[in-house]
Amino acid sequence: MSGNCNPIGIFDSGAGGLTVLSELVKVMPYEKYIYFADSANCPYGSKPAEEIINLSDKITRFLITKGCKVIVVACNTATAAAIDYLRNSYSIPFIGMEPAIKPASQNTKTKSIGVLATAGTFKGRLYIETSRKYAADVNVCYQVGEGLVELVESGKADSPEAEQLLHRYIDPMVDCNIDHLVLGCTHYPFLKPVLERMLPNHVTIVDPAPAVALQTKRIAENNGLLCNQNLVDSTSIDFYSSSNTEVLKLLVEMNIRPQYRIEDLYFNNVKL
């Protein structure tokens, strides 16, 4: 195991990437992490690709100045728009998100799956190529989750407003006889409590975050970038936000700190 204890960088349009960070800490508890929430520009879902590339590039440069050895683009929309540009522009490894259509398509028994994602994700190369490759013989009921990111960012993931909006999006999928629901945005796992109440028992919710965390570990290991656990005592995470950090702090205290041995949490505000 390497002695490279430089941090792993993670960024998202807001707090959604915390669902990925949580899985990263689970599989790599001895790493340092830097999380950047671009809350000032959230949501990314309906922004033009050029704007998302520009924002992603600025965040990447910031994370590199902080010494990040690997960067996880913990945002489906940013992955769809910017991952190719980032990989072509920088020498460090990048790991991106894509809707988990492959496992859903391979495991469906009803031959019908649902995908809830942003408009930007549905337009991305990864989504289109994965759908063509793995879901050609499957009925895919897809829905743009407009308004869901904003509810999560305002601390209303488990609220009557969220439930009402989700019913509008999910009920037609249930009518299409789906047995898997793919969450195509890193904010959406925060909506799991509501989704689990709404969905029939036979519908499996598919969250790609655990697979992304394992892929990050594999890439770090293959590149000799894992930190030697003998060099550190616990996980440390620095959080940066381009806007208000209050909801970010709340979600971290609820979802990150209680699950893991994390001694140090730092919150910082920075303008891109």
The catalytic residues are 75, 185
Distance between CA atoms of 60 and 96, rounded to whole angstroms? 13
Beta strands in the chain (DSSP E): 8-12, 32-37, 70-73, 94-95, 112-117, 139-144, 180-184, 204-206, 235-241, 262-269
Distance between CA atoms of 147 and 154, rounded to whole angstroms? 11
Cβ–Cβ under 8 Å, residues 145 and 117? yes
CB atoms within 10 A of CB 183: 26
Owner of token pair 């549905």:
122
